[in-house]
Amino acid sequence: MSRKKERKTKGPSATGRPAGPRSRNVVHTLVVLGLLGTSAYLTVELRDKQPETAPPVESIAGASTAAGGAKPASGEQRFERLANPARTVVRGGDGGVLATFTDNARTAVLTGPSRTFAEPKFTSAKVTTDSWIRLLPQPWKEGAEKAAWFKDWYGKMASSKEPDIFAISMEYLDGAPQKKDAQGVPYTGDAHFGPLNPKGSEGADLRLEQSDFNDYLGITYTFRDGTVERPEPLRFRSIDCSGYIRTIFGYRARYPLMSKDVKGDGLPRTANGMARLSPGVPVIELGDKRPDNIDRLQPGDLVFFKVDRRTGERLDHVGMYMGLDTDGKPRFISSREEANGPTFGDKGGTARLDGSGYYAVGLRSAKRL
């Protein structure tokens, strides 16, 4: 959960990284069918180079509003318009969905090789999916399939096996191995939620919040507005719930990042800011109670929660929807205090959006970036 306010901005000055991270003594098992590949991202290059995209998919309901009646021949593709939310789907010769692009969103779901994600330390459920989550170079608009930028992007991404958002998200779970860039900065590996809280206890704010992606990396980061954030040594290798989302979507996949909770073209700092101020498409409108249904969700959507009474009207937790697990239940992934880091397991609360669990009851909205 997250009651954090924006952390006070530090002035620009050099800083060193603290000694190596404390790893949790547990082996994390991640089964990935289909290629995750090695993630050849360098932290410097991440700011300068748009990563490649591959395919994910989820069958989406909705009435067709366009596209000729005849089923395309084998090998052919056709673009079809659907509603609620307004989107374009790509269908193959057999009528199956190959990709989904939502109006005013950059998150794309492409269909690719099936993969299974498992975290047996924290849940017996697995997530088997052929959805590959990618970011479009710009928000989708009706008719964008005719644009040169899209043809170039889709031509590369439709069969790419480069790590997608799902693959990147797994690189911070319990026991995940470290990878380092050319400067020796570990940019993946077992992430903690935050340092121990001197005034906390088990089940009562045991760990501190407000650890962002640059704290995890141990680097000083300059945002586009000129704000400079220095890492706090105690927070090295730590990312809270919104810091985790900013790491995988922002620092790794290059979705723009805001330095604080302000309205703009990027991800704000906190869960509350993301829900209320970030760009994208509301797929579940923000309300003061649990939504009646979650049928519009697709893998890669951000889900927002109100689980701490002390935060007033502020939303205090954010995660990413993964789709249905092997039990047929809607599962999400997030960084949590109780699990001391990112997980889609059930420690500290079942990571499902249905039923009467801690997070299911606290669900308030969802957004497609």
Residue 159 confidence (pLDDT): 92
225 in a structural domain: no
Do 273 and 236 form a contact (C-beta atoms < 8 A)? no
Q: Which is it for the CA torsion 41, 165, 369, 96, positive or negative?
A: positive
97 in a structural domain: yes
Which pLDDT tens digit goes with each residue over 37-81? 333 333 333 333 333 332 232 323 333 344 433 344 447 899 999
Structural domain total, the chain: 1
145: pLDDT strictly greater than 80: yes
152 in a structural domain: yes
109 in a structural domain: yes
Question: What is the distance between the alpha carbons of residues 139 and 60, in angstroms, rounded to a whole number?
Answer: 19
User: Which residue segment(s) compose the domain that 150 sits in?
Assistant: 78-163
Which pLDDT tens digit goes with each residue over 237-253? 999 999 999 999 999 99
How many CB atoms within 10 Å of residue 58? Answer: 18
Residue carrying structure tokens 């997530």 = 127
85: pLDDT strictly greater than 60: yes
206: pLDDT strictly greater than 50: yes
199 in a structural domain: no
259 in a structural domain: no
Q: What is the pTM of this model?
A: 0.81
Residue 196 DSSP symbol: B
270: pLDDT strictly greater than 80: yes
Question: What is the distance between the alpha carbons of residues 46 and 219, in angstroms, rounded to a whole number?
Answer: 14
156 in a structural domain: yes
